[in-house]
Amino acid sequence: MTKQIPEGVSQVKLWDVGTRLFHWSLVICVCSAWFLGKFGPNIMTLHFYFGYAVIALLVFRIVWGLFGPAPARFSHFLFGPAATLRYAKTLKNPTPSYWPGHNPIGALSVFAMLAALIVQVSTGLFADPDDYINVGPLADMVSSEANRSATKLHHQMALLIAVFVVLHVAAIAFYKRYKGENLVTPMLTGWKLVRKDKG
């Protein structure tokens, strides 16, 4: 670390290896499943496999959110409206947040993304697009009406997930360019500059 560390800020190991591996595996699996779904071959076997991988990752993240290291726990980034508003007001400051974890706005994005992906993998399991080659593994367990609703929702959620991803990447770019805070490297190395007074 050659850069001067400001007063009241220290370099800490924030993101454990599990959270980091989870994050980048999710990037790979969600992007692969998404593009295979939209542009992949007619037989969507690979799309299915990436979907199953996303299920496994979501299960891991939920377990990690309950029993994992402090910064990864849901309770660590569950904020009330007041705290969220207070943080939102600081967004316009062109200075790093030095937030020790998921900040209140980022936390919203985490919960929204996890919820959207849970809906997405669930509807995928029950979807049946009537082409006889791509049938969700649990599609037979429900009515064809339900198959149809699941398929429709699966397609709509794909759009929403794309919007979430774009917003997420835009936020990371905003922090880097406007606030001068690099959030990518901490997710790679685990080390982040954070405020000493909190977390």
Partner 1 sequence: MRYALIAALIAAPALSLAGPAEKTVEARQGYFKLLGANMGVLAGMAQGKVDYDADAAQTAADNMVVLSTYKLAPLFAPGTSSDDVKDTRALPAIWKDLPGVTAKASDFGAAARAMQDVAGKGKGEMAGALGALGGSCKGCHTAYRAE
**Which residue number, 39 or 67, has a Cβ lying nearer to partner 1?**
39
Work out the angle at residue 132's Cα, subtended by the Cα atoms of residues 162 and 31, and round it to the nearest 5 degrees. Answer: 20
The distance of closest approach from Cβ of residue 170 to partner 1 in the complex, given in angstroms and rounded to an integer, is 29
**Which residue number, 43 or 78, has a Cβ lying nearer to partner 1?**
43
**CB-based burial label for 61 (10 Å; 0-12, 13-18, 19+):** buried
**Which residue number, 2 or 42, has a Cβ lying nearer to partner 1?**
42
The distance of closest approach from Cβ of residue 127 to partner 1 in the complex, given in angstroms and rounded to an integer, is 11
- How far is 171 from 64, CA to CA, in rounded Å? 24
**Which residue number, 97 or 120, has a Cβ lying nearer to partner 1?**
120
**Which residue number, 41 or 81, has a Cβ lying nearer to partner 1?**
41
The distance of closest approach from Cβ of residue 115 to partner 1 in the complex, given in angstroms and rounded to an integer, is 22
Q: Which long-range contacts (CB under 8 A, 24 or more apart) does 104-109 make?
A: 104/77, 104/79, 105/171, 106/77, 106/171, 107/77, 107/78, 107/79, 108/84, 109/164, 109/167, 109/168, 109/171
**Which residue number, 155 or 179, has a Cβ lying nearer to partner 1?**
155
The distance of closest approach from Cβ of residue 178 to partner 1 in the complex, given in angstroms and rounded to an integer, is 39
The distance of closest approach from Cβ of residue 159 to partner 1 in the complex, given in angstroms and rounded to an integer, is 12
Binding site for partner 1 (CB under 8 A): 41-43, 129-134, 148, 151-152, 155
Please tell me the total number of residues recorded for the chain in this structure.
Answer: 199
CA neighbor of 82 nearest in space, from 107, 111, 108, 104: 104
Q: Which residues fall within 8 angstroms of residue 99, CB to CB, at 6 or more apart?
A: 87, 106, 194, 195, 199
The distance of closest approach from Cβ of residue 52 to partner 1 in the complex, given in angstroms and rounded to an integer, is 17
